[in-house]
Structure 1
């Protein structure tokens, strides 16, 4: 696979040029980027693959929803509906897509909508909901909308500065577009990453004067949900780990560090399970999955546990983020 990606290097040069020219057309105003009266916060990345966007959106919801009326707008990747859709109690995961459905399930009082056309989605939310702030999930490259505040995520070990354009690498946008971010978060760090290494990464990122660089790691909840149990209670059982996420490696590493033995059935990101696959899973003694996968499996499989994950910031990162968010909300209002 790596050899094939290297052979496709000429295509990555063409892709990189196209992305660069597109961004220049937006910068020059030849392509229009629209601002909205409602405050917007964008969470995104420059690369394909998992950087922890959904846990970051959830963190923002927790930080803002006690004070402000919050709405979330996502594309709803691989959903089976079209156009704008505002989630209700009867909306299915197939209609919304797994990540928006997960967020609506976790935060029922927050308005969650999907629309591939972000401009239209924001307009619909303004008309129907009138939120104080709209969180734009995975919208960094959608330059038809000009967000008011932007959080750029990049995963430790897969930093955008050290990556290359698709299909040779994983970059889907130009590295220089990081300049548009207010905050850059290096996610999925080791929890014990040294100050020396953090400083080295900051030098590589070379942030602009208006930018903060923060560091976070993934914290897994040992108290499992779904079929509630503790992680320790699964030790000694025949556990099947089922994942349909972009990068399950951090979860695998965590479970192994906790002494859990398991077989791992890996599926593609946002995978909707076939009838045949579900029959295989029903024969398993004990299934552990992610929260995102759980919303696609919960009504179809019993003996199903899921493990929650969230961002924990190193240093005073959480305080810095909250301070910037509160200043932004006051300043724009």
Structure 2
């Protein structure tokens, strides 16, 4: 429900974003079209639509195609400017989501790892040339949370929308959560409806797709993805990768993510949920938070958290000398409800087409 008295402000905000987009669409404001295959991943709304798991999916999909990089703003970091992640970086220096990607895909001996460079930079049009200096042979760059970053025009622009908060039900700021009007979806080359329930039927998918097509390009495909959790993993690498046991295992859930409801549902379905300590998205944990966790965990219970929260809690545990034995995190991946082969073909076709065009230019 949107407050009626905010309608004029919604309209004003929408007008401002419309003018900004018009300046870019008319080429009055400069736009960079990188020579390297670039995929943008973003949304129209504020909050969690599952961007990081989708970026992770794309990295796993394309990193065997040659050197690649991820580039994000680095939300929540205490640094500014462009930087390539190294083993010494923390959530304070690059942000929690880039740190997660670094730990999963890029940890080697220095910034120029074989395969994936994880980088941050508010001004992506300035950061991309710096990436190419660091790795001239880059084949792919994935831009995280870049749908409204108009100074860069990606070759493939992916728009994500949460099944539980579809953009066509929403309004612009301040009455709603949209960063721009709904028709901004026309910039998307494909729309992905994320966090879908496992039992979402084809009939309901078609209804959602029809509603999306009111605002998107006519030829932009619409895909549906859900989340799947992996086996809980302990914080300490020296521990065996054992599960937590059955439904009776007492669990205290801790999360600092935008929409923790699916996580809580999973915990309730698989364990005995003692308590869920919910923090704001990108929350910076403290030793006081650890002490609070310790107080509420039963003697035979454990702390369960997300992979994004793990990269911030684990260093804090190490700093305070706390044992890691009672701390586990849940790996998370996306899965397509259907038509994954079509999506894979679309992503790979873009890379192949750009390579072919470069080959023709070299031959000529």
TM-score category by the smaller chain?
A: over 0.9
Q: Please show how residues 310-325 of structure 1 align to structure 2 within 5 Å.
A: 310-316=333-339, 318-325=340-347
What RMSD in Å do the two structures reach over aligned CA positions? 1.7
Displacement of 1:324 in angstroms is 0.7
Residue 138 of structure 1 is matched in structure 2 by 145
Q: Please show how residues 211-250 of structure 1 align to structure 2 within 5 Å.
A: 211-226=220-235, 228-233=241-246, 235-250=247-262
Displacement of 1:37 in angstroms is 1.4
Displacement of 1:215 in angstroms is 0.4
Displacement of 1:311 in angstroms is 0.8
Task: Give the 3-state SS of the residue equivalent to 2:21 in structure 1.
Answer: helix
Residue 40 of structure 1 is matched in structure 2 by 38
Q: d(CA) in 2 for partners of 1:37 and 1:222?
A: 40
The 3 A distance-change label for structure 1 pair 297 and 181 is: same
Q: d(CA) in 1 for partners of 2:88 and 2:76?
A: 19
Residue 112 of structure 1 is matched in structure 2 by 118
Displacement of 1:10 in angstroms is 2.9
Count of residues paired in the alignment: 329
Displacement of 1:74 in angstroms is 0.7
Task: Give the 3-state SS of the residue equivalent to 2:245 in structure 1.
Answer: helix
Q: Is the 8 A contact 1:54 1:99 kept in 2?
A: yes
Displacement of 1:282 in angstroms is 3.7
Equivalent residue in structure 2 for 1:158, among 159, 165, 168: 165
Residue 304 of structure 2 is matched in structure 1 by 288
Task: Give the 3-state SS of the residue equivalent to 1:299 in structure 2.
Answer: helix
Q: Please show how residues 1-333 of structure 1 align to structure 2 within 5 Å.
A: 7-108=5-106, 109=113, 110-130=116-136, 131-206=138-213, 207-226=216-235, 228-233=241-246, 235-285=247-297, 286-301=302-317, 302=324, 303-316=326-339, 318-333=340-355
Task: Give the 3-state SS of the residue equivalent to 2:315 in structure 1.
Answer: coil
Q: Is the 8 A contact 1:290 1:307 kept in 2?
A: yes
Structure 1 portions without partners, runs of 5+: none
Q: Is the 8 A contact 1:19 1:173 kept in 2?
A: yes
The 3 A distance-change label for structure 1 pair 107 and 162 is: same
Displacement of 1:9 in angstroms is 3.4
Q: Is the 8 A contact 1:225 1:307 kept in 2?
A: no
Q: d(CA) in 1 for partners of 2:243 and 2:14?
A: 46
Q: d(CA) in 2 for partners of 1:133 and 1:173?
A: 28
Give the alignment's TM-score, normalised by structure 1.
Answer: 0.94
